[in-house]
Amino acid sequence: MNRAMINFSVVTVTYNAESVIERTVGSVLAQTYSNIEHLIIDGTSSDKTLSLVNDYMRCSYAAQNKHQIKIVSEPDKGLYDAMNKGIRMATGDYIVFLNAGDTFPSEHTLEVIAKCVAEGEKLPGVLYGDTDIVDDKGHFLCHRRLSPPKSLTWRSFKRGMLVCHQAFYVRTDIAKNNLYDLNYCYSADVDWCIRVMKEAEKKGLSLLYVNAVIVNFLDGGMTTKNHRASLKERFQVMRKHYGLLTTLVMHGWFLLRSFLQK
């Protein structure tokens, strides 16, 4: 497939996000790359979120923007259920989750990512890159502490979630075969990324590193606010994929690393 034909499905999950949604949709609207499907999955917000999202759609239409925008607002069973809705709706070649408050760092971000795929080659299973952390005003705080390796496999995540979920672009056909496991409340994204990479390996598909910051991630998400419960779930996810002994050894290393960094 020619790289110019690559279509991105950008999924934005929202719920009462009026304070941050404008900068997220604005960063999608500003993209110079035209093959974008933007799916906005709202959990029946009671604030001005939907009004702002509808303004975004009208603005895109008035500007004759080529991005396709689809909005769904209905009750859901939580974040990961909403994300599964996005996967089911997606029609692009790759899917990425850019949730309320997250943004693309540049108007050229998707163009940069698309250019990383060589013309005529089999589409990689995953495209991934670097992450910057921003505050609730969108101001830069720091580079993400865990950096993605240039060579990534599903085994890499035994050292932690080395790639931010929002900097992890998955071939949509693979994503549709691997919905988020709703048995996890806080760490389904870790499990999902590992399962996706396992399937890519089985299919003989590469995981391609984009040597650039490709997302500004809003600090203080659901996992951060429920840190202890998230750690317990993440232990179970790692045990499932890497075995108990490896998980215990790696958690011992995490504790030591945390102590040394103080």
Can you give the pLDDT at residue 190? 96
Q: What was the pLDDT predicted at 261?
A: 56
35 pLDDT exceeds 70? yes
**CB-based contacts of 32-35 (< 8 A; 24+ apart in sequence):** 32/107, 32/108, 32/110, 32/111, 33/8, 33/108, 33/110, 33/111, 33/114, 34/66, 34/67, 35/5, 35/6, 35/7, 35/8, 35/66, 35/92, 35/114
Q: What is the dihedral of CA 176, 178, 184, 189, to 10 degrees?
A: -80
Instruction: Say what the pLDDT of residue 94 is.
Output: 98
Residue predicted with more confidence, 125 or 4? 125
pLDDT of residue 10: 98
Alpha helices in the chain (DSSP H): 21-29, 49-62, 79-89, 109-115, 172-176, 188-202, 222-225, 227-242, 244-261
Calculate what percentage of the chain has a pLDDT beyond 70.
Answer: 90
Q: What is the 3-state secondary structure (H, E, C) of 208-250?
A: EEEEEEEEEEECCCHHHHCHHHHHHHHHHHHHHHHCHHHHHHH
What is the structure's pLDDT at 251? 74
Q: What is the mean pLDDT of residues 142-157?
A: 94
CA dist., res. 179 & res. 77, Å (int): 14
Ordered by where they begin, the domains of the chain are 3-226 (3.90.550.10)
Which amino acid is present at 248? L
Question: Does the pLDDT value for residue 2 go beyond 50?
Answer: no
pLDDT at 258: 58
Cα–Cα dist 85/260, whole Å: 42
- Confidence band, pLDDT 50/70/90 cuts, at residue 250: confident
Confidence of residue 257 (pLDDT cuts 50, 70, 90): low
Closest-CA residue to 215 (of 79, 78, 61, 97): 97
pLDDT of 149? 94
